Structure 1
Amino acid sequence: MKIHVTERAQKWFKEDVGVSKDEYVKFFPKIYGSSPVQKDFALGFDKVDEVIDEGVIESFGDLHIAVENDDLWFFDGHDLKVDYIEDNDEVTFEYID
C-alpha cells in the first residue's frame, strides 16, 4: 500500500491541523460512515506522537503519514490519495487500485 498526499493537503495538515515535524498523521478505520472500499466503515485520522505497530509510513518532507499494521485491512489492497479542497474546506480520500 502506498499513500500520496497532495501539496494542498500537506499544507492543511501542517497549518490547520497543527501537525508538527515530530508527530504523525495516523489514518484508521471508523466504525460508522462508509467508504468505497469498506461498507459501514469510514476513514478517520488523528495526530499522534508515535506509531505503535508500523504498517505503512510515508514522509513528505517533515510531514509523516502512518497506517498501523492492524488497520491495513481497511484499504483492501488499495493505495490512498489524500487531497484538500479549499473551496469546500474538506479533505478528500481517493482509493486507487
Structure 2
Amino acid sequence: MVDKETLERRQARTPVEMLQEEPGVWAVSVAAQGSPILRGQIGNRVLYLWDGIRINNGALFGGPNGFFNQFPVGAVDHMEVIRGAGAVQYGSDASEA
C-alpha cells in the first residue's frame, strides 16, 4: 500500500506517477492517458477500483487506456496494488487487481 505520506513525497502529478516506484509496477504515460502494467498485465487484465467501485471492466481492449489517469490526484488518500489471484474477490476479469 502506498500511504498519503509516500504519495506526497513523490509529488506525482498523475495517478500513474504515484505508482512508478512500486515494485513490479511499470507505469506508462502518454499525453493525458496512463496505465500501470502489473507483472506484464495491462488494460482489461488490470482492475481499477475507486472506493470499491469498478472504473473499468473486462470488455475493454487489452492495451493501455486512460481510465486510470482520470482519478483526481488531490483526492487520493492511498493506493493499493493487490497482486495475485484477484478473481476470487473481484470477479473473473481481475487477473490482477
Higher helix fraction (1 or 2): 2
TM-score higher than 0.5 here?
Answer: no
Q: Which structure would you say has the larger RCO, counting Cα contacts within 8 Å and 6 or more residues apart? A: 1
TM-score by length of 1: 0.28
Normalising to structure 2: TM-score of the pair? 0.28
Q: Which has the higher strand share?
A: 1
